[in-house]
Amino acid sequence: MGNTRVDYIDGVRGVSALMVVIYHFYWEALPAVSDIRSLWTASLMNGPLCVALFFILSGDSISIGFLKRGSYPTLVKSFLKRYFRLTFLIVICSFLVFFLMASHLTFNVHAGKLLHSTWVETLLDFEPSLLSTLQFSLGAVYTWDSPKIYNPFLWTMQYELLGSFFVIALLFCKNFITSSYKYAIAFAVIFFLSGNYIYLFFIGMLLAMARNDGFLVALENKIGNVKSILILTALIILNGYLLLRYSAKISGVGLLISSPLIVLCIYTSSTLKGFFSSRACIFLGKISYPLYMFHFIILITVFSYFTTHVEWAHTYMYSFSAACVLLSILLSMGVEKLELYFLVYLNKFVSSDLEVNNTPLVNSTLRQDVEESKP
């Protein structure tokens, strides 16, 4: 069974996660006490755009394994494991937030007032309880209908879970329909017209099929490396301008349209694929899920406490925010180890009655499946 990993996908995911973290610590937390917001920072730390890239990459990475292996047991495994893969860290993070709130170790309210940031101040604006923590982490995080949100950054999970299931379902039908491209395009159009992020999962699936069928290589040869980089740069600056000057609704439409083109530019540039396949980017890709989730812990504790209690932290906010980004990475490295252990056991559990290509899964394959499990 060959390796189905595509390194630059992990790299793009990792860099995008880092940009979301920087977006929250700088763009969202500091605008009232600094001149952080400009066209260049909007272009470089565009968190909403990076989230859109996440969804495309998820649809792509989910599809790769099946398209290369053609194994329905593998697809069934992906379906069975998806909820548990996503939920494990959500449970840990949510209960950690509950413990911090119950122990009065969250300081975002005072920090938000000092920074004149309503966004920071209104995080966790409720009384915590064990029951609501359990309800949020096991179910409400996927429906987003709970008045008690223990991590507001997890609004993406409702799309991550449902979008994954849609892609898996269409992949399962791939060999029984005349043209999977037509169906994927049809679903993408339907969800795009409804303004739903699930549209991006089908874009990712289409890109995976295009790669598998050799279309991306042909397009790369036709467009050329330089054109891909120039188009990518223009699209990033355009989205930065929309983020800076227009409402979330208008900039949201812009990123829905442009994010597939941005990913396509990366996929058709040897230079960009090489960059995102570098060791640093791959490292960020490995910790991308815990980094995206657990930097919220640093924001409501370390960042908020030092902002309100330590004068130099407020005086040197840019440097202190950078330190909090680094601390988030370090925390995520530890969490990723815990996640890895869980995913190995989850793979063993699901594989106990399932064999891929009639061959029992071995440790190397388990490790590969674990890597493919990352959202």
Report pLDDT for 358.
34
Which of 64, 75, 47, 55 lies closest to 2 in space, CA to CA? 64
Q: Helical H runs in 224-362?
A: 225-245, 248-267, 270-276, 279-286, 288-298, 304-309, 311-315, 317-351
pLDDT of 22 above 50: yes
Report pLDDT for 336.
95
Which of 321, 297, 288, 274 lies closest to 7 in space, CA to CA? 274
When comparing pLDDT for 64 and 207, which is higher?
Answer: 207
Report pLDDT for 71.
72
User: Residue 86 corresponds to which amino acid?
Assistant: L
When comparing pLDDT for 363 and 13, which is higher?
Answer: 13
Average pLDDT, the chain: 89
pLDDT of 4 above 80: no
What would the pLDDT profile of 263-303 be if each residue is shown by its tens digit? 999 999 999 999 999 999 999 999 999 999 999 999 999 99
Report pLDDT for 374.
58
Give percent of the chain with pLDDT exceeding 70.
91
Most confident option among 28-37, 117-126, 291-300: 291-300
pLDDT of 20 above 90: yes
Cα 150 → chain centroid: 18
Report pLDDT for 346.
86
Q: Give yes or no for a contact between 202 and 181, defined as CB atoms under 8 angstroms apart.
A: no
Mean local confidence (pLDDT), 24-36: 85
pLDDT of 31 above 70: yes
Report pLDDT for 65.
82
pLDDT of 368 above 60: no
**HEC secondary structure over 168-211:** HHHHHCHHHCCCHHHHHHHHHHHHHHCCCCHHHHHHHHHHHHHH
Which of 109, 131, 129 lies closest to 121 in space, CA to CA? 109
Tell me the C-alpha distance between 14 and 329, whole Å: 11
User: Residue 180 corresponds to which amino acid?
Assistant: S
- For the whole model, what pTM was predicted? 0.90
pLDDT of 228 above 70: yes
Cα 256 → chain centroid: 15
Rg (Cα) of the chain, in Å, rounded? 21
Q: Which residues pair with 356 in a beta bridge?
A: 359
Tell me the C-alpha distance between 166 and 209, whole Å: 16
Q: Binning pLDDT at 50, 70 and 90, where does residue 68 land? A: confident
Place of tokens 């101040």: 121
Report pLDDT for 156.
96
Mean local confidence (pLDDT), 208-221: 94
Tell me the C-alpha distance between 239 and 39, whole Å: 9
Report pLDDT for 335.
96
